[in-house]
Amino acid sequence: MGPRKYPVELLRLKRLHVRMYAHDPERGYVAELISRAEAGYKGETTVDNYLRGLRLPGKSMLLRNIRLQIREEYVAQFDTLLITERGIWIIEAKMIRGSLRLLPNPRRMERTDESGAVLTMDCPILQLENQKTGLGEWLEERGLFLPIRGVVAFATRNTWTGLPENAPIVSVKELKSMLIKSVNQSPPPDRSFSSLNEVVNRLVAEELGPDMRSFEEMGIKHGPLKEGTICENCFASLERKGERKFQCPQCKAQVEGNPVTRALRDYFLVFKPWITNREFCKFAGLRCLSTGNRYLMQHELDRGLRSVHHFDARKHLEGTELRKVKRDSL
């Protein structure tokens, strides 16, 4: 349903990294998380490109970036769900370079890069099996039923060792033909199957949206963070030279766009998803409350009691920027 959106989780990590001090011991770890998330996003968009023009028998629909609460302690995230009248196909994208080897007991995958370094990773087949089980539980609890299948699509050229016969792993170039064949060979829907619309509507209604937990809850125990307006070139704090003029004292780079608006977005993504005008003025270094209020009212935010402005990533982000109020609404 619509194009894939830029991952809010990746944007949050990037903005956290920008606001971390160079000496923060967690900064390298956050950079590593960003690298993994960027590879994952690139793999997902590559899958999207190869799924364009997919023609299947009957009705079908693609859902992207779906997070579901399977159980109280278990949230599952699905890169892509292909829902048809004959079943659901879970499509997981992987962008992992190097030679890959699957190993049993315990099930795992080893990646060997060009330098010969070996990294142990989770088994993608086991991950897919867990997702199929979780989605099956979720459907059963709601009285819904569609057969569940799945595939892991690798967006890179890999040399494999220990890959079982008939493993649900394909090159992204094979994905479209594999899905067409799999759907065509699946039994047509019978009376036990739930309708496509019923399943899709329930998935969309209960989708959790981006992971907005605090970084501490996610295991990232960062130190103090930079407040205020930030240079996008060297990440130093900007100096204000006028009402709308800023300068970087460190690299002297020209300041593009509006750093105050970026500071507001960063506050919601990195610090907390609500703010008062007074808090915003203090954070962004604004001297006048009326100036802060003007900035806040320019953006689509939920207005709560006591002038608290609430942020919802699903509603208030346009790509990677805060969504602005339309002029005819002002």
Q: Which amino acid is at 62?
A: L
Q: What is the mean pLDDT of the chain?
A: 94
Taking each helix axis from N to C end, the angle separating 277-284 and 289-297, rounded to the nearest 10 degrees, works out to 100
What is the number of alpha carbons within 13 Å of residue 256 lying toward its C-beta?
3
Measure Cα distances from 290 to 114, 297, 324 in Å: 57, 10, 18
User: Can you give the pLDDT at residue 307?
Assistant: 85
pLDDT confidence tier of residue 306, bands split at 50, 70 and 90: confident
Phi, psi of 302 (to 5 degrees): -85, 125
User: Can you give the pLDDT at residue 327?
Assistant: 67
User: Can you give the pLDDT at residue 328?
Assistant: 58
Give tens-digit pLDDT for 189-246. Answer: 999 999 999 999 999 999 999 999 999 999 999 999 999 999 999 999 999 887 678 9
CATH value of 239-329 in 1.25.40, 1.10.10, 4.10.240, 3.40.50: 1.10.10
Confidence check: pLDDT of 330 > 60: no
Give tens-digit pLDDT for 156-169. Answer: 999 999 999 899 99
User: Can you give the pLDDT at residue 305?
Assistant: 85
Confidence check: pLDDT of 329 > 60: no
Which of 138, 148, 301 has its CA nearest to residue 206? 138
- Maximum Cα–Cα distance across the chain: 70
Query: What integer is the mean pLDDT of 39-59?
Result: 94
Q: Which amino acid is at 223?
A: G
What residue spans in the chain does CATH classification 1.10.10 cover?
A: 239-329
Confidence check: pLDDT of 2 > 80: no
Confidence check: pLDDT of 16 > 70: yes
Share of the chain above pLDDT 90, in %: 88
Instruction: Give me the sign of the Cα torsion angle 227, 32, 43, 232.
Output: positive
Confidence check: pLDDT of 170 > 80: yes
Q: Are 95 and 152 in contact (CB under 8 A)?
A: no
* Model confidence, pTM: 0.93
